[in-house]
């Protein structure tokens, strides 16, 4: 009886130790990284969206995101419109330290103070000819 109990305890300890070993193994680091920034203003434009956002500290930066990036086949940009009072934000996704894609979360209500308007004749057409966003956080 003692041998059976001792064997049972030994088995439980052995299985418990072997079961924990995979948890102790070092986890692989993902090749993706993301950065969230607060959107200060979004301007719809005939060629895309012009976005002004807050950098670390009190600085601001801007991004010109072409409409073609929002196409499912391109998938470099995604626009999520929400009804809630979520503070508008933009998430940059980096793969191995380089720009991969961007997500924008903004109010569905175009009267929200985040949305702005630009003149259709604004001289910014050439700024939408980009293949990736400059990473300025």
User: Which helix (H) or strand (E) is 26 found in, with range?
Assistant: none
For 67, residues 6+ apart whose C-beta sits below 8 A from its C-beta are 47, 48
Three-state DSSP string of 53-70: EECCCCCEEEEEEEHHHH
Decide if 35 contacts 42 (C-beta within 8 A).
no
Query: 3-state class of 10 per DSSP?
Result: helix
| Residue 121, pLDDT above cutoff 70 | yes
pLDDT band at 90 (very low <50, low <70, confident <90, very high): very high
Assigned token pair, 1? 């009886």
| Residue 56, pLDDT above cutoff 90 | no
Q: What is the mean pLDDT of residues 43-72?
A: 93
pLDDT band at 37 (very low <50, low <70, confident <90, very high): very high
């Amino acid at each position: 009886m003692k041998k059976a109990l001792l064997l049972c305890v030994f088995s439980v300890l052995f299985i418990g130790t072997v079961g924990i070993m995979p948890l102790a193994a070092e986890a692989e680091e993902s090749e993706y990284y993301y950065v969230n920034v607060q959107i200060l203003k979004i301007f719809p434009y005939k060629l895309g969206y012009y976005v002004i956002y807050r950098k670390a500290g009190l600085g601001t930066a801007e991004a010109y995101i072409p409409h073609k990036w929002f196409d499912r086949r391109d998938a470099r940009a995604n626009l999520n419109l929400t009804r809630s009072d979520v503070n508008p934000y933009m998430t940059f996704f980096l793969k191995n330290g380089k720009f991969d894609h961007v997500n924008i979360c903004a109010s569905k209500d175009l009267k929200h103070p985040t949305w702005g308007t630009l003149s259709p004749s604004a001289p910014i057409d050439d700024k939408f000819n980009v293949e990736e966003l400059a990473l300025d956080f």
